[in-house]
Amino acid sequence: MDDLLELLRAGLPAEALITDPDVTASYAHDMASFCEAGAPAVVVLPRTVEQVQHVMRTATALRVPVVPQGARTGLSGAANATDGCIVLSLVKMDRILEIDTVDRVAVVEPGVVNAVLSRAVEDRGLYYPPDPSSWEMCTIGGNIGTASGGLCCVKYGVTAEYVLGLDVVLADGRLLSTGRRTAKGVAGYDLTRLFVGSEGSLGVVVKAVLALKPRPPRQLVLAAEFPSAASACDAVCRIMEDGHTPSLLELMDRTTVQAVNRLAQMGLPETTEALLLAAFDTPDPTADLAAVAALCTAAGAAEVVPAEDTAESELLLQARRMSLTALETVSSATMIDDVCVPRSKLGAMLDGTADIAAKYGLTIGVCAHAGDGNTHPVVCFDHTDPDESRRARESFDAIMALGLELGGTITGEHGVGVLKKEWLARELGEVALELHQGVKHAFDPLGLLNPGKVF
pLDDT band of residue 308 (cuts 50, 70, 90) is confident
CA separation for the pair 3, 5 (Å, rounded): 6
pLDDT band of residue 170 (cuts 50, 70, 90) is very high
Residue type present at position 438 = G
CA separation for the pair 106, 110 (Å, rounded): 12
Per-residue pLDDT, 455? 86
| DSSP output for 191-236 | HHHHHTTSTTSS-EEEEEEEE-EEPPPPPEEEEEEESSHHHHHHHH
Q: Is the pLDDT of residue 33 over 80?
A: no
Mean pLDDT score across all residues of the chain: 96
Buried/exposed code over 226-235 (b: 16+ C-beta within 10 A; e: otherwise)? bebbbbbbbb
Which residues make Cβ contacts (< 8 Å) with residue 131, sequence separation at least 6? 114, 118, 150, 151, 152
Q: What are phi and psi of 242, to 5 degrees?
A: -80, 0
| Residue from 244, 203, 204 nearest 222 by CA | 244
Contact 33/74 with Cβ under 8 angstroms?
no
Give the number of other Cβ atoms within 10 Å of residue 183's Cβ: 10
For residues 291-296, give the mean pLDDT: 98
DSSP 360: H
Parallel, antiparallel, or unpaired for β 96-100 and 105-108? antiparallel
Over residues 150-162, the pLDDT tens digits come to 889 999 999 999 9
Q: Is the pLDDT of residue 34 over 90?
A: no
Q: What are phi and psi of 71, to 5 degrees?
A: -85, 0
Beta-bridged to residue 245, according to DSSP, are none
pLDDT band of residue 282 (cuts 50, 70, 90) is very high
| DSSP output for 125-162 | TEE-----TTTTT-BHHHHHHHT---TTHHHH--GGGG
pLDDT band of residue 48 (cuts 50, 70, 90) is very high
| Residue from 368, 349, 316, 334 nearest 149 by CA | 368
For residues 284-300, give the mean pLDDT: 96
CA separation for the pair 255, 364 (Å, rounded): 8
pLDDT band of residue 164 (cuts 50, 70, 90) is very high
| Residue from 205, 206, 208, 204 nearest 450 by CA | 204
CA separation for the pair 124, 416 (Å, rounded): 35
Burial class (CB in 10 A: 0-12, 13-18, 19+), 17: middle
Q: Of the given ranges (14-18, 119-123, 323-327), which has the lowest mean pLDDT?
A: 323-327
Residue type present at position 232 = A
CA separation for the pair 211, 106 (Å, rounded): 7
| Residue from 451, 427, 343 nearest 86 by CA | 451
Domains in the chain, please, with CATH?
A: 2-89 (3.30.43.10), 96-214 (3.30.465.10), 220-405 (3.40.462.10)
Over residues 350-363, the pLDDT tens digits come to 999 999 999 999 99
Q: What whole-number percentage of the chain has pLDDT above 90?
A: 93
Q: Is the pLDDT of residue 305 over 90?
A: yes
Q: Is the pLDDT of residue 95 over 90?
A: yes
Which residues make Cβ contacts (< 8 Å) with residue 341, sequence separation at least 6? 348, 349, 373, 375, 403, 406, 407, 408
Q: Is the pLDDT of residue 205 over 80?
A: yes
Q: Is the pLDDT of residue 143 over 80?
A: yes
Per-residue pLDDT, 228? 96
Over residues 388-446, the pLDDT tens digits come to 999 999 999 999 999 999 999 999 999 999 999 999 999 999 999 999 999 999 999 99
